[in-house]
A and B are shown apart, each in its own frame.
Chain A
Amino acid sequence: MTAPLLDVRGLKVQFGGHTAAVRGASLSLRKGETHCLVGESGCGKSVTALAVMGLLARGARRQAEVLSFAGQDLRNLSEGRMSRLRGDRMAMIFQEPMTSLNPAYTVGSQMTEVLRRHRGTPRAQAVDRAAELLGRVGITAPGMRLGQFPHQLSGGLRQRVMIAMALMCEPELLVADEPTTALDVTVQAQILRLLAALQRELGLGILLITHDLGIVARIADRVSVMYAGEVVESAPTAQLFAAPRHPYTRGLLSCVPVPGKVRRDEPLGSIPGVVPRLPPGFQGCAFRDRCPHAAPACAGPVPRQPAGPEHEFLCTLPPDWVRRAEAA
């Protein structure tokens, strides 16, 4: 097995000492793999991504047992060294294409500065590269677009520009934080197809953050389900959909209508309650207040258990509990 491109173990992020946004999250991503991080709003997905990129806001505290990218330990890297990695070998795109581009500069200026910063490429060559990438992400008349300002582009176009900009230096890792959430459904599909195609062609590792299980099913190789700052279950996509183990994962999947499985006379599933805000030092399973299978043991230490090849879940229930429950 090859060494992971991105390896995160025991990641913790705290804001101001009273909220633990991420509480020991672990995930790893191989070169050329699409890894989806799913969960409800407020479960720490975006904070995890920002922590990996070293983009947390001031006042946030990051700790990790392991945080490495391409064999390089990121934990104690200075901001200067980190900024040399960002945009060059690891890139990120965001949920808000409308506001993520600087309104005062042209598309071309914002794209070329990445190459000029990391490679010192002369302007003319950088412009060529930008035009080439705009074409690659499916933007027609790239030459014209390069001279335009963000407010002259639609949301879908802006997200394409963001993707093209992220690819300027041929990164090995692309972190995409809900890149399609703010877009129309048709545009969403186009962007997802584009990401999948780019990944195949460029051997890009993608960490895709989403709350949309439909997206996961379509493009993920691996899925990590996050709840209240922890990865509660992680598995290859097919495995996760076929045999989810964590009650939270099962709850999430029951909320999604699947043709052929859903019946008209039965309501879709839902998980009552919301993701809690947990103080640092919280003990036990964070899902226990919303879990239909909660038991007294859930307040104690929760084991991380294997449930198949590369399939882990974080729960006090035994790995074969689903089968036992169905047999009973």
Chain B
Amino acid sequence: MTRFLLRRLAVALLVAMTVLTLSFMLTRLSGDLAISIAGPNATQEDVELIRRAYGLDRPLTVQYFDWIGRAVLGDFGTSYFFRERVSTLIGSRLPITLTLGLVGLGIALVVAIPLGIIAAVREGSWVDRAVMLVALVGQAMPSFWLGLLLMVVLGLQLQWLPISGTGSWEHFVMPGIVLAFSAIPALMRLTRSGMVEALASDYIRTARAKGLTRLSILAKHALRNAAIPVVSIAAVQLGFMLGGSIVIETVFALHGVGFLAWESISKNDFPVVQAVVLVLALIYIGLTLLADLLNAVLDPRLRA
């Protein structure tokens, strides 16, 4: 178990280093930063001034190691646009995105896992086909469209939920549902196929031969084995939700990290862009690590 942990940690660290390098390189590749910061009306002298002020005149390697040295300590510099420390900026936006992501994943799991199990148990029946149809529709529906639809129905007509902002937990329900919808099809399909495979296995036949109850066979013996791919994908999905919630955050006016990323990209605020990419990537890496650990808990064969 210790060896497994160390190996996973080492891999996570390597990936983090790669992301650090990539996020630095991508912002430098997108054009001369000094020119874009200075704006279209700046003179050559202005650009030179800015280049020196932001240290962009130094060799790339120096800039790179300087940036890494600070980033490791949590110092991502100051935003050009917001005139604020990038770390405070992200710190204030991250809880919104995290809440949204967790609500979305929660809803997705609560819906997808039972439906997947039911579809597997009734494999080939109309229930199975109905569930898979819902999965197909969910996969095909654009999330901004579903968001607007929910706003019209739940927000404006029924007036059950607020349509925008972050004032209370109710504000997270609708965007949570929309986010969940994008994750449900994959989670449901995986639960279903995992359960179908598990239920056809020899150890389930043994469990039945032992006279165990249906509940014990499904929940204890089949689900535990079917859950392994679901856990991996759930972690990836949560990563997607956190990084890819830009559309949802825009539609529901939630000022989370996704919204921040969109703003800073359009303003060429490269310290913020770099930091957002890095933070999201680190969360992603953390989630993958967590999924690996959970899987090792579920399947003893992975602990070697």
B301 touches A99 (CB 8 A): no
B209 touches A87 (CB 8 A): yes
B179 to A: closest C-beta gap in Å = 30
- Of B201, B209, B212, B221, the residue contacting A91 (CB under 8 A) is B209
A103 touches B203 (CB 8 A): yes
B residues 256-304 with Cβ under 8 Å of A? 298-301
Q: For A117, list chain B residues within 8 Å (CB).
A: 210-213, 216
The interface bits of chain A over 66-102 (1 if a CB of B lies within 8 angstroms of the residue's CB, else 0) are 0000000000000100111111100110101001111
Q: Which of A88, A102, A103 has the most CB of B within 10 A?
A: A102
Closest chain B residue to A149, Cβ basis: B300
Q: Assuming A87-B211, A117-B212, is B206 touching A100 (CB within 8 A)?
A: yes
Total number of B residues with any Cβ neighbor in A under 8 Å: 22
Q: For A144, list chain B residues within 8 Å (CB).
A: none
Q: Assuming A55-B205, A149-B300, is B225 touching A103 (CB within 8 A)?
A: yes
- Of B210, B299, B301, the residue contacting A87 (CB under 8 A) is B210
Residue B70 is within 8 A (CB to CB) of chain A in the complex: no
B299 touches A103 (CB 8 A): yes
Q: For B207, list chain A residues within 8 Å (CB).
A: 102
Residue A151 is within 8 A (CB to CB) of chain B in the complex: yes
Q: For A114, list chain B residues within 8 Å (CB).
A: 210-212
- Of B201, B216, B301, the residue contacting A151 (CB under 8 A) is B301
Residue B224 is within 8 A (CB to CB) of chain A in the complex: yes
- Of A88, A96, A149, the residue contacting B211 (CB under 8 A) is A88
Complex CA gap A87/B208 in Å reads: 8
Closest chain B residue to A84, Cβ basis: B211
Residue B202 is within 8 A (CB to CB) of chain A in the complex: yes
Complex CA gap A165/B211 in Å reads: 12
Closest chain A residue to B212, Cβ basis: A117
B211 touches A85 (CB 8 A): yes
B191 to A: closest C-beta gap in Å = 16
Residues of A at the B interface (CB closer than 8 Å) are 53, 55, 79, 82-88, 91-92, 94, 96, 99-105, 113-114, 117-118, 149, 151, 162, 165
Kindly list 7 other residue pairs between chains A and B, CB separation below 8 angstroms, not including A85-B211, A87-B210, A104-B224: A83-B211, A91-B209, A94-B202, A99-B203, A101-B203, A102-B225, A103-B300
26 A-B pairs whose Cβ atoms sit less than 8 Å apart in the complex: A83-B214, A84-B211, A85-B211, A86-B208, A86-B209, A86-B210, A87-B210, A87-B211, A91-B209, A92-B209, A94-B202, A94-B206, A96-B202, A99-B202, A100-B203, A100-B205, A100-B206, A102-B207, A104-B225, A105-B221, A114-B212, A117-B210, A117-B211, A118-B211, A151-B301, A165-B210
